[in-house]
Amino acid sequence: MQSTVMKNLQTLHLLPFLALACFFVKISGSISLHPVLTGPVMAYIGSRVDFRCITPDSLLPVTYELMGDGGVLIATVADLQGDQPASFYLKVTATLKGSYHCRATTGGSTGVSNSIKLTVVIPASNTIVTSEPFPPVAYEGSRIVLNCSVTKGSHLSYTWFFNRKEVTSSTSPLFHRTGNKLVMGMVTPEQAGYFSCMAWSTVQDTRRFSSSSEVKVTVKVYVSKPRISFSTSKVGDIHLGNVTCWSIRGSLPVNFSLLLDNKELRSVTATESLAAWFPVHVVPGLDMGVARCRVNTEVQELISEPVPLEVVPVGGDVKVEVEYLYRADSKLAAAILSCRLSRGTFPEVSWLLNNSVLPSEKHVDSHIQAVPSHYTLTDHGQILVLAKFSPEDSGYYRCRARNSYDDSGPWVESAAVLVRVTDRILNSMPEATSPTETPQKVFMNTIEVIAIAFCCFLFLMLVVGVGCVYNMFDQNQAHAHFATSSEQNDTSSTEWDVQNQVHRPTQHPIQTQ
């Protein structure tokens, strides 16, 4: 009996502990788990990533499972202490991309973490530049598109380089970047050069890139209309001619052809300069026909203006014409002397002042010759401009000419013309004191001619107006005189009729209002 009582007392003492144990069991069965998954969202293929899963405030052992898309179990890690994160180390492959979450289990409770989507990035490799058209050669105004191509790579960005300088929107407005393309809508010669590109990607502050080699872009320039010139020289008794064909702009190579009366004589391909020279045989005084230059490229064919292949010897009359130019204050500013030749294809002209030859340099192919600063020669020396005046510049000027290709040939001279330089305005022709002097031509400015014509017109209108007024006044006087005369005649007639006792009707003068 006593033993039974003792057992009951022990049972009563254990009841609180049993109740507490049951309470803990119930609590453990109703715990809500909230695991948290951390890890990268992007990773290079071939690298290693670390996903970590932890259940905050968990004091019991927890089992963690890393789950992939479709609930596929990737790995399992047990945390026996209950307060440590579980780490999942994975090597990144192409199949590893997708969404991941963590499932935590402790006792009879299970919790699911947040989801992380992993993107697998493939670094760029084998980068090259391709072009449209290929090869990258085009004429100005055409369209060229460059492509930065890779054999492998994902999530790429692209950087372009022009002559080893980075192409940006601010520094290179002539280029348009879109994706992996560099577009030149209407190319210009300034866009010709060397281009390269770099394809790159960035993952967690780590950049990997692949650069291409340089590609040369050629922009061809359309050739301009060819020009033609003809010159001649004399070697002994033989006259040699030379026809020069050239263009101002264009891309080499080009083909120049010499046409004589629309028939091709010779052709040459220019590879170093936009010019070609064709020797021809000439005979002074003989018309050999009309020459033209033709230029050909792969897309163009142009022909120059015609030039007659004829060498006319210098001869006939030679005279000097003078034109004076004035400033706004009516002071003499310059005098222009022109040497006019009757004939001559290639004249060499020199000027004389008071029988002294003016210094000059002979440049057959130049339009302006070098002379002292107060002289200027233009039009192959045929025009002499006196820009500055001094007493020494006054005197008798004349010009002479001969064939430029024959230094031993005779000169044909003009008569002397007096050019008098003074501070006074030259309102009339200079007086000539030389018997060989020819009248000088003084050309007036266009504004002066218009002003004089307008003044003459006003004067004519004034004369016509005065005449009209005078005519009207004269008519009024005539009407008044006619009325007075009529009254006197009527009175005389009446008296005469009365004396003769003959009745006549009385006449009344016409009244003017």
- What pLDDT digit, counting tens, does each position of 139-193 carry? 999 999 999 999 999 999 999 999 999 998 887 788 999 999 999 999 999 999 9
CATH number at 36-121? 2.60.40.10
Q: Is the pLDDT of residue 57 over 80?
A: no
Please name the helix (run of DSSP H) or strand (run of DSSP E) that holds residue 250, with its range, or none: none
* CATH match for 128-220 among 3.10.180.10, 1.25.40.10, 2.60.40.10, 3.40.1160.10: 2.60.40.10
- What pLDDT digit, counting tens, does each position of 211-220 carry? 999 999 999 9
Provide mean pLDDT across the span 221-235.
93
| Least confident window among 276-290, 364-378, 419-433, 495-509 | 495-509
Q: Residue 59 has what DSSP assignment? A: -
Whole-model pTM: value is 0.60
> Can you tell me the distance from the alpha carbon of 474 to that of 69, in angstroms, rounded to the nearest whole number?
124
pLDDT at res. 70 = 84
> Can you tell me the distance from the alpha carbon of 260 to that of 254, in angstroms, rounded to the nearest whole number?
20
Residue type, 13: H
Task: Please classify residue 134 by burial: count the beta carbons closer than 10 Å to its beta carbon, then call 0-12 exposed, 13-18 middle and 19+ buried.
Answer: exposed
* Residue 349 near residue 361, CB atoms below 8 Å: no
pLDDT at res. 228 = 96
- What pLDDT digit, counting tens, does each position of 389-424 carry? 777 778 899 999 998 888 888 999 999 999 876 654
Going from N- to C-terminal start, the domains of the chain cover 1-29, 36-121, 128-220, 239-310, 315-443, 457-513
| 117-131, 281-295, 341-355, 457-471: which is most confident | 117-131
Query: Which of residues 361 and 263 earns the better pLDDT score?
Result: 263
Q: Is the pLDDT of residue 272 over 50?
A: yes
Provide mean pLDDT across the span 76-103.
88
pLDDT at res. 294 = 98
> Can you tell me the distance from the alpha carbon of 217 to that of 120, in angstroms, rounded to the nearest whole number?
36
Confidence of residue 477 (pLDDT cuts 50, 70, 90): low
Question: Is 1.10.150.120 the CATH number for 239-310?
Answer: no
Provide mean pLDDT across the span 436-440.
40
Class of domain 315-443: mainly beta
Q: Is the pLDDT of residue 103 over 90?
A: yes
Residue type, 374: H
Q: Both tokens of residue 413?
A: 């001279």
What is the pLDDT of the chain when averaged over all its residues? 80
- What pLDDT digit, counting tens, does each position of 8-40 carry? 545 445 444 444 444 444 444 446 788 999 999
Q: Both tokens of residue 121?
A: 């990035």
Angle at 38 between CA 34 and CA 41, to 5 degrees: 135
Provide mean pLDDT across the span 193-197.
97
pLDDT at res. 225 = 97
**Domain 36-121 matches domain 239-310 at the CATH topology level:** yes
